[in-house]
A and B are shown apart, each in its own frame.
Chain A
Amino acid sequence: MTARPPKAAALALASFASLAALGGGGCMHFEAFDEPIQLQTHVSDWRDEVIYQILVDRFADGDDGNNYNLDLTANARYHGGDWKGIEDNLDYLEELGVTTLWISPVVKNVETDANFDGYHGYWAQDFTETNPHFGDIIALRSLVDAAHERDMKIIIDIVTNHVGQAFFYDINNNGVPDILIQGDGSNGKSEVKHVTEYDPDFDSRGIQAFTSLGEAGPAPIIFQYDPASNHIPPYPEIFSKAITYNRKGRTFNFDIPDQLLHGDFPGGLKDIDTTRCDVKREFVDVYARWIELTDADGYRIDTIKHVEYEFWRYFTQRLRQRLAKSGKKNFLMFGEAFDGNDALVGSFTRKDFYNHWTPDKLESAEALARDAECGGDGPPLTGDMLDSVFYFPQHYQAFGDVIRNGAGSQKLADLWASRTTNYGNEPIEGGIGIAPTKAQINFIDNHDVARFLFWLQNEPDAVKYPLLHNALFLLLTMDGIPCIYYGTEQDFDGGNDPSNRENLWSTDFDTSGTTFRLTQRLIRLRRAYQALRKGDTRVVWATENTGAESDAGIFAWERFGGDAGENYALMIMNNNRTNPASPEYMGARMQLAVAPGTVLVDVLSADKTQYTVEGDGGLGIVLPPITRALLIPAGAVVDGL
């Protein structure tokens, strides 16, 4: 028999070629993998932005590949949201109108501690790696790129005050973590004390070892090593050394500066000694690197009041300088001082070496000496710190007291009046180019406080939703940079952490709700009218009245001038739950800056109601209970919004 070419073999080979074509995805295409990344400045004026705060684990699950140990039935466990989920839902965010996404921390965390997970991101374990629950560096970069393609920006949340539950204090020197009961309470002389070596109470001397014979000097600290829960010594290396930490135990009185600055954050989060030069430099390195890897546009910084001013001077100035060299300018850094004290909150934006914790309110000589020592690696350090802060006092006083609880609106006027005293009046050098007094991060609520609607659960719909809408109205028309907590647009009403961290995907990303639509509209108006973004503020009516008086519930303010030039807007809201109200009382009337005869149009009203400024500069307007009006000069009204 003579060998012949087998037809079957030829057919089979052709089939193989077809199969190979089917596997065309063979090469690994790492989208957004573009080396080296070119940093760019994507923001011209941060007041043009509307920030949307996202708790990544709760926004959208876009990738089952990173789902690990989820428990969707418990709010304190991982739920599966990730960066891909955000990227997949940018349409939703774009439809809402927000322009900047603040995402929760991206670094690798302690996985779980005492049956609570690090889903929120504030328990750093490795400052150099991504949290694999949310994706890898490619996924993060892809999100940033996708956002930039839509002219949206990304702000990353960071922590410098502490790491996760990294070590325990071996108080009894037995080498293992204990939860101890000391004393038996006998005859009232032997006090019963409950001590956990993971999180002992603050001791200004440093946590002391203790045996039955008494104190035995500083307690050794032992770093945990449990890879399954990612309790392993923090990284970079410097964070795995005992000397890097203050080692004084858990803060229990936040009014004592030593505890506030040097105590562990409740929950066993170990406080870093942020006065050390090596720590300052390491944090600049690790956090500059995240921007260099992603081209993100800003940092939201956690727990700033627990960190010394000197750290913020070094960190912010060196970080700005390093990023600017690579092309990243207008890099926004704003901090969270979870406090109602306006002077304290504002202090982090001042450049006059103010120190809230010293008797004379001036920076200590020791801190200034460390400025000189640590700052020897570059240009001399100035007093510059953060570009902005969360306006926590306003959260309490305006959104809480005035709008939600019906307090007199004079409280808000007084708070605003103190801005120039408590906050920096000049832009930070190399910062965003806007004075901190005009760049405060305004917010109704966030992941650390109960949602606005939580406190109104027992109120009828006709009260609680209009009040939320008044809050949104204030948020999106006032001076500063508005920040919306995810889910606000969906009427989420969760209580305190973690109940306020609902899964947004439970709403199916519905865009038809009343609150969604109102938020969307207010954002459009803010973008359309420059006065709402950049105008100076002048309060034209505020009141102490809260009862049946004609102006009870009214708050009115104009915005014009400043960077808005001749553009003008007048906002009036009535927070009175039962009575109509107007900006006049006992013969006194609101006095506007625009000329008599000017026709103002309420662009929020369905019929575009018009009002004419009267000869005395007043306006004959009466607002029904829990309503609002946004008045624009007739000639400046933009149609179609």
Chain B
Amino acid sequence: MSASAEDAPETGAAPPPPSTAPASEGPEPAAAEVKVDVSASTDAAPPVETEKTIDRKVGPQDPNTPPGYAQGFHFGSYGRVVAGGDATGRPMRNADIVAFGSRLDESTYAELEVRREDYWEATDSYTRMVMTLAMANPVFHYTGNFDATMAIRNLYIEAADIGLKGLRVWMGSRMYRGDDIYVLNFWPLDNLNTVGGGLGYYFGRTAIKLHAGLNQPHSGWFKQTIDRPLLNNQLGSAEVALLDRQKVISSLKVEHVVPVGQSGGVKGTAYGELHYTGAGQREVRDQIYEDLPADKGFVAGGQVSAFTGKRSTYATLVARYARGLAAYGEFNAPVQLALDRTSKGAHELLVSLAGNYEAGPFGVMLGSYYRIFRNASPALDYRDLNEGILLLRPQIWLGKRRFAGIALEGSYQAQQRGSTSIADDGTTTPLFAQVGRFGIIPFLTPGGQGAFTRPHFQLIYLLTARDAAARSLYAVDDVYARRGIDHFIGMTAEWWFGSTSYFRD
């Protein structure tokens, strides 16, 4: 059996740090603080099955089907290029207040994937080397700067069927994640970016995946280099890494698919992570040292997806609980700590519901979640929050060949912060911010109908309404602090094809 379009999609590329960021990181409000916009996302369609055999033929030509194993070099890509701005001519900018909101005003991002795939007759196994080069905004034609913001998002090799049919082994640097919510550009259950390795074993309709990796977020909580004199009567100094600790992240995922009907099914996923970093010491002032204790955390979660197997119709429910170090997300250093200088007590609870339904020329996409985050410091403060979003995107494909269409997108998002404001009359009220968004998106779709058919050529009008509390999330004189209503007008080209990042197991 060849891997099909409905194989378990592990899509996108974002490392979404779902917690907090130091105030010094910039003027963006809370929602923006927790977003690192290097993301992409594609088809969130659920799997039909996880029984894996290798397609030894050249991969299909349809760019909306996943690549199979085939000898030789291969190329894939995800990309979106966005042009637009607000009604006054200012550049586009994400206007969500929640961590993961509408993707319509996400900025330009692209990935170029190069693979080398081989069949090894001696062992009847396969290997696949993947290198993914990612580029983020701004692009040359916008600034004129001959420069680019780039990252290697994948650099690993995987062997399949080695020693045991269904066994996969990989090592390297890898985006390692599960299903996303396309309309929110969000991976609610698992989304890891580490350097390490993993095992996967696929049998029947069940898959077990084990992984362990390392990363070192760019933070003085993990690494500090300081100047120190040289010995042996040498002149000058050398940089010494006084604090240099890594985060160890391991994960275990068990998936099982129960077929329902001719093409549908239900996929259940149980998921867990363990996070750990060792003790260290850093210099707080010249030769004054501070001990940092070891820290740890965990994630426990699960997912249930029901799908028809036809026209990407599915619904996915995710629940996820993270505690301690893991509550801050994989690439964040914990801040606002417990009194013992650890992340003990920090936690995040997330429940999400997403789906897609298509019938005839109509379709509707759903993305929603509710999230609670508490940092490790005992009292409620500004960076403790409850937030949620409900987003619907109905769309219609037009014409006999359905090469065009119109989508509408409406969302409501709200966020409560762990702080209060005092009104002139002396009453104290919790900070509760609300934003409503409504968009009209006419599009061209050369691949025809389908919520996850790409490429797309989109024109976008997106209205954003924010209340006074939402405006208060931004700094004084920020236009978002001044405006209750915003208009985004733009165009977006989006594609994906032949990339293991989006059609992977």
Question: Which residue numbers of A lie inside 8 Å of B, CB to CB?
Answer: 1-4, 6, 8-9, 11-13, 15-16, 19-20, 22-23, 25-30, 33, 35-36, 61-68, 71-74, 84, 128, 135-139, 227, 289, 292-293
The residue that A20 contacts in the complex, of B23, B351, B384, with Cβ under 8 A, is B351
Contact status B256-A64, CB under 8 Å: no
Contact status A9-B268, CB under 8 Å: yes
Q: List CB contacts (< 8 Å) of B326-351 with chain A.
A: 336-339, 341, 347, 349, 351
Contact status A73-B379, CB under 8 Å: no
Contact status B379-A25, CB under 8 Å: no
CB B166 to nearest CB in A, in angstroms, measures: 20
Q: How far is the CA of A430 from the CA of B442 in the complex (A)?
A: 73
Contact status A137-B260, CB under 8 Å: no
7 contacts between A and B (CB under 8 A): A1-B260, A13-B317, A16-B304, A25-B372, A26-B386, A74-B285, A227-B475
Question: Which residue numbers of B lie inside 8 Å of A, CB to CB?
Answer: 23, 256, 258-262, 264, 266, 268-270, 284-285, 288, 300-304, 306, 317, 319-321, 336-339, 341, 347, 349, 351, 372, 374-381, 383-384, 386, 416, 418-420, 422, 426-428, 430, 475-476
Contact status A12-B422, CB under 8 Å: no
Q: Which residues of B contact A16 (CB under 8 A)?
A: 302, 304, 317, 319, 351
Contact status B339-A6, CB under 8 Å: no
CB B284 to nearest CB in A, in angstroms, measures: 7
CB B254 to nearest CB in A, in angstroms, measures: 10
Taking CB as reference atom, which chain B residue is nearest A74?
A: B285
Q: How far is the CA of A67 from the CA of B379 in the complex (A)?
A: 12
Contact status B321-A23, CB under 8 Å: yes
Contact status B270-A65, CB under 8 Å: no
Q: How far is the CA of A62 from the CA of B284 in the complex (A)?
A: 20
Q: Which residues of A contact B258 (CB under 8 A)?
A: 4, 6, 8-9
Contact status B284-A73, CB under 8 Å: yes
Q: How far is the CA of A13 from the CA of B316 in the complex (A)?
A: 12
Q: Which residues of A contact B349 (CB under 8 A)?
A: 19-20, 22-23, 26
CB B292 to nearest CB in A, in angstroms, measures: 13
The winner among B347, B372, B376, B383 for most chain A CB atoms within 10 A is B372
CB A363 to nearest CB in B, in angstroms, measures: 34
Q: Which residues of A contact B416 (CB under 8 A)?
A: 28
The residue that A28 contacts in the complex, of B261, B266, B284, B430, with Cβ under 8 A, is B430
CB B346 to nearest CB in A, in angstroms, measures: 11
Q: Which residues of B contact A3 (CB under 8 A)?
A: 260-261, 264
Given contacts A19-B319, A26-B372, A28-B430, contact A64 B377 (CB under 8 A): yes
CB A185 to nearest CB in B, in angstroms, measures: 39
Contact status A136-B420, CB under 8 Å: yes
Q: How far is the CA of A36 from the CA of B428 in the complex (A)?
A: 9
Contact status B284-A71, CB under 8 Å: yes
Q: How far is the CA of A11 from the CA of B303 in the complex (A)?
A: 11
Contact status A136-B381, CB under 8 Å: yes
Q: Which residues of A contact B260 (CB under 8 A)?
A: 1, 3-4, 6
Contact status A12-B270, CB under 8 Å: yes
Q: How far is the CA of A63 from the CA of B341 in the complex (A)?
A: 10
Q: How far is the CA of A30 from the CA of B416 in the complex (A)?
A: 12
The residue that B426 contacts in the complex, of A66, A68, A74, A289, with Cβ under 8 A, is A289
Q: Which residues of A contact B302 (CB under 8 A)?
A: 12, 15-16, 19
Given contacts A16-B302, A28-B386, contact A139 B285 (CB under 8 A): no
Q: How far is the CA of A73 from the CA of B320 in the complex (A)?
A: 41
Given contacts A16-B317, A19-B300, A84-B379, contact A61 B268 (CB under 8 A): no
Contact status B23-A68, CB under 8 Å: yes
The residue that B320 contacts in the complex, of A19, A35, A36, with Cβ under 8 A, is A19
Contact status B379-A139, CB under 8 Å: yes
CB A152 to nearest CB in B, in angstroms, measures: 20
The residue that B347 contacts in the complex, of A4, A25, A63, A138, with Cβ under 8 A, is A25
Contact status B347-A65, CB under 8 Å: no
Taking CB as reference atom, which chain B residue is nearest A83?
A: B379
Q: Which residues of B contact A64 (CB under 8 A)?
A: 336-339, 341, 376-377
The winner among A19, A20, A36 for most chain B CB atoms within 10 A is A19
Closest 10 CB pairs between A and B? A23-B349, A65-B377, A8-B268, A65-B336, A16-B319, A6-B258, A64-B337, A3-B260, A6-B266, A65-B381
Q: Which residues of B contact A71 (CB under 8 A)?
A: 284-285
The residue that B306 contacts in the complex, of A9, A29, A292, with Cβ under 8 A, is A9
The winner among A33, A35, A64 for most chain B CB atoms within 10 A is A64
The residue that B268 contacts in the complex, of A11, A68, A72, with Cβ under 8 A, is A11
With A64-B337, A293-B428 already in contact, 5 other A-B pairs whose C-beta atoms are closer than 8 Å: A20-B349, A28-B386, A30-B418, A65-B378, A73-B288
Given contacts A1-B259, A28-B386, contact A15 B379 (CB under 8 A): no
Q: How far is the CA of A16 from the CA of B374 in the complex (A)?
A: 19
Q: Which residues of A contact B264 (CB under 8 A)?
A: 3
Q: How far is the CA of A593 from the CA of B426 in the complex (A)?
A: 55
Contact status A36-B427, CB under 8 Å: yes
Contact status B430-A12, CB under 8 Å: no
Contact status B284-A36, CB under 8 Å: no
The winner among A4, A36, A136 for most chain B CB atoms within 10 A is A136
Q: Which residues of B contact A138 (CB under 8 A)?
A: 379-380, 420, 428
Q: How far is the CA of A293 from the CA of B284 in the complex (A)?
A: 37
Q: Which residues of A contact B288 (CB under 8 A)?
A: 73
CB B314 to nearest CB in A, in angstroms, measures: 13
Q: Which residues of B contact A63 (CB under 8 A)?
A: 377-379, 381
Q: Which residues of A contact B23 (CB under 8 A)?
A: 68
Q: How far is the CA of A72 from the CA of B290 in the complex (A)?
A: 10
